[in-house]
Chains A and B, each alone.
Chain A
Amino acid sequence: EPEVTQTPSHQVTQMGQEVILRCVPISNHLYFYWYRQILGQKVEFLVSFYNNEISEKSEIFDDQFSVERPDGSNFTLKIRSTKLEDSAMYFCASRAISGLAVYEQYFGPGTRLTVT
């Protein structure tokens, strides 16, 4: 069964550094998402992406964040200048869509980002 993959599984970076988290969604999916989960807190929506543009973003997704689909397979989340409070597990998700049908979101295993 196809799966969403994410790399790296764990990223440690210093405050102020740029990080890029990578995701490979399931190949025939058209909607892509990033969520994050700070330790001990709920999973929070960051951004959704469809047809090569952001379709929705949360208040968390400020100018420090950006997403990109640089080729036909990867979907990346960039944080330009990391802060301590960016430390979290970041989940990528993707889903298919066909006509009016809405399908479930499939999640990747997550990237644990630690900002020191």
Chain B
Amino acid sequence: AQRVTQPEKLLSVFKGAPVELKCNYSYSGSPELFWYVQYSRQRLQLLLRHISRESIKGFTADLNKGETSFHLKKPFAQEEDSAMYYCALSGYGNKLVFGAGTILRVKS
């Protein structure tokens, strides 16, 4: 079975503080992992994918196959990072399986 777990519904941090949004997955094969972001009143958009190993808007995520995790990190949070973040897995069939999402609130 394909499953994505995001244990935190809400993460609240102060501006300039480090951020880590947790994501764990369950999949028997070799998955592709993604982070999607949804800013207020906007559509879901891709933030990053593990296969490209790039940093977008200062965010990075490393796939840890041993721990089946794909945590999203940013060293210094900014107010404009406030949004809903979804971790998603794409396996066989290429559909996306989403986690429940984590609301990130960055306080000034």
User: What residues of chain A have their CB less than 8 Å away from a CB belonging to chain B?
Assistant: 4, 31, 33, 35, 41-45, 48, 55-56, 58, 91, 93, 95, 102, 104-110
Contact = CB atoms under 8 A, between A and B. Distances in A.
B43 A48 contact: no
30 contacts: A4-B43, A31-B94, A33-B95, A33-B96, A35-B96, A41-B100, A42-B98, A42-B99, A42-B100, A42-B101, A43-B44, A44-B98, A45-B95, A45-B96, A45-B97, A48-B93, A48-B94, A48-B95, A55-B93, A56-B93, A56-B95, A58-B95, A91-B44, A93-B96, A102-B90, A105-B46, A107-B44, A107-B45, A109-B42, A109-B43
Nearest to A57: B95
A68 B23 CA distance: 34
Interface of B: 32, 34, 36, 42-46, 49, 86, 90, 93-101
Nearest to A108: B43
Contacts of B94: 31, 48, 95, 102
A11 B18 CA distance: 41
Q: Is the interface of B mostly helix, strand, loop or mixed?
A: strand
A110 B38 CA distance: 12
Q: Is the interface of A mostly helix, strand, loop or mixed?
A: strand
Contacts of B46: 104-106
Nearest to B2: A45
Contacts of A44: 98
Interface centre among A45, A106, A110 (most CB of B within 10 A): A45
Contacts of A91: 43-44
Nearest to B99: A42
Contacts of B99: 42
A91 B43 CA distance: 9
Contacts of A42: 98-101
Nearest to A55: B93
A43 B95 contact: no
